Amino acid sequence: MLRAAAGVGRGYKRELMNLLDLQQGQTALDVGCGPGADLPELAERVGVRGTVIGVDRDPAMLIEARRRTTDLSAVEIREGDAHSLPVAPRSVDRAKIDRVLMHVVEPADVLAQLHSVTRPGARIGLAEPDWDTLAVDAEDLGTSRAFTRYTTSEVVRHATIGRSLARHAEQAGFTVETVIATAPVFLDFQDADHTLGLGRNLQQAIQDGHIDEERGRRWFTSLSEGSFFASFVLVSVICSR
Ligand SMILES: C[S@@+](CC[C@H](N)C(=O)[O-])C[C@H]1O[C@@H](n2cnc3c(N)ncnc32)[C@H](O)[C@@H]1O
């Protein structure tokens, strides 16, 4: 499992939030809100007359999201699945899905749900990585490539959905307004290890026979020593209903 970025790569979130063009009094939906990192900013942008609905299927995430927004009267946290959103039809003015479609069973069904709960004229922001583009600098380039291949084929369900995001949005009936590709850069090994699951997924890749144990361990040790670089492409799509 690839975890949410902490400090790295937050720039795309700011851009997505700005392009959503939230207005005071609107209803905003965050599908797969996770621990609620974006809910306070959504609440600030829609103001006290507005509503922010955060939906996630993971109760542990929702506890954290509730804790984070306990003083924000505009925010409602709802437990639910993105394939069957607990939201009234045509009730949402602004919606975002950030690094969730790569995990769901059927992205097309989730986008169809999103279409049904948004109002005509609504604006929607989507952001998903393309893990095929994960580049980890190492002298042993073969193992870096094997790690990326393993991530794409075994770790993430829809690992290359970033490149198909605009197409999926159009197929769901949205009009694509803007497509942006950004490349978060990791220069800190610990940060990358936490966010990209370097050690965790390497261990799995070794166990599954995709990477030789000794070579994998040498690769990982070399990453932790000296300067570090890793990056991948993340695609954001802004569309309207
Ligand atoms: C990588 S986190 C992103 C969290 C948040 N969007 C953010 O940007 O910080 C993915 C989240 O999607 C949620 N998720 C995955 N599949 C889901 C589904 N089918 N329905 C609802 N939430 C889902 C997970 O529980 C997790 O909280």
pLDDT at 216: 97
In a domain, residue 106? The reply is: yes
Asked if residue 163 has its Cβ within 6 Å of ligand 1, the reply is no
Q: Which residue's CA is the nearest one to ligand 1's atom 14? A: 32
Secondary structure, 3-state, 129-179 = EEEEEEEECCCCHHHHHHHHHHHHHHHCCCCCHHHHHHHHHHHCCCEEEEE
**Secondary structure in 3-state letters for 106-142:** CHHHHHHHHHHHEEEEEEEEEEEEEEEEEEECCCCHH
Measure the CA–CA gap between 69 and 192, rounded to whole angstroms.
Answer: 28
pTM of the model: 0.92
For residue 60 and ligand 1, the question of a CB distance below 6 A is answered with: no
What percent of the chain stands above pLDDT 70?
A: 96
Element holding 12 (H helix, E strand): helix 11-20
Is residue 36 assigned to a domain? yes
Instruction: Please state the rounded mean pLDDT for residues 96-125.
Output: 97
Task: Tell me which residue range forms the domain holding 26.
Answer: 7-240
Tell me if 128 CB under 6 Å of ligand 1.
no
Q: For residue 164, is it within any domain?
A: yes
Nearest-atom number in ligand 1 for the CA of 58 is 25
Beta bridge partners of 238: 125, 178
Phi–psi pair at 61, nearest 5 degrees: -65, -40
Name the E strands within 37-98.
Answer: 51-56, 75-79, 92-98
In a domain, 1, yes or no: no
Domain count, the chain: 1
Residue with tokens 């639910």: 80
Q: Is the CB of 41 under 6 A from ligand 1?
A: no
**Distance between Cα 118 and ligand 1 center (Å):** 19
Q: pLDDT by residue (tens digit) across 128-161?
A: 999 999 999 999 999 999 999 999 999 999 999 9
Q: Do 100 and 158 form a contact (C-beta atoms < 8 A)? A: no
**Residue 2 is assigned to a structural domain of this protein:** no
Backbone angles phi, psi at 67, to 5 degrees: -60, -40
In degrees and rounded to multiples of 5, residue 102 shows phi and psi of: -65, -20
| Ligand 1 pocket test, candidate residues 103, 124, 234, most atoms within 8 A of CB | 103
Cα of 181 from ligand 1 centre, angstroms: 21
pLDDT for 161-192, tens place per residue?
999 999 999 999 999 999 999 999 999 999 99
pLDDT given for residue 7 in this prediction: 54
Residue 223 counted as domain residue: yes
pLDDT digits (tens, 9 = 90+) for 193-231: 998 999 999 999 999 999 999 999 999 999 999 899 999
Helix (H) or strand (E) holding 217: helix 213-224
CATH number at residue 170: 3.40.50.150
Choose which residue among 17, 57, 87, 114 to substitute to test ligand 1 binding: the one with the highest number of ligand atoms within 8 A of its C-beta.
57
Which residue minimizes the CA distance to atom 4 of ligand 1? 34
Q: Does 198 sit in the ligand 1 pocket, CB within 6 Å?
A: no
Report how far ligand 1's centroid is from the alpha carbon of 125 (Å): 15
Q: Which atom of ligand 1 is nearest to the CA of 81?
A: 20
**Is 155 among the domain residues?**
yes
Q: 104 in ligand 1 pocket by Cβ < 6 Å?
A: yes
214 is a domain residue = yes
Each residue of 39-58: pLDDT tens digit? 999 999 999 999 999 999 99
The CA 223 to ligand 1 mean position distance, Å, reads 29
Q: How far apart are CA 35 and CA 184, in angstroms?
A: 21
- Mean pLDDT, the chain, as a whole number? 94
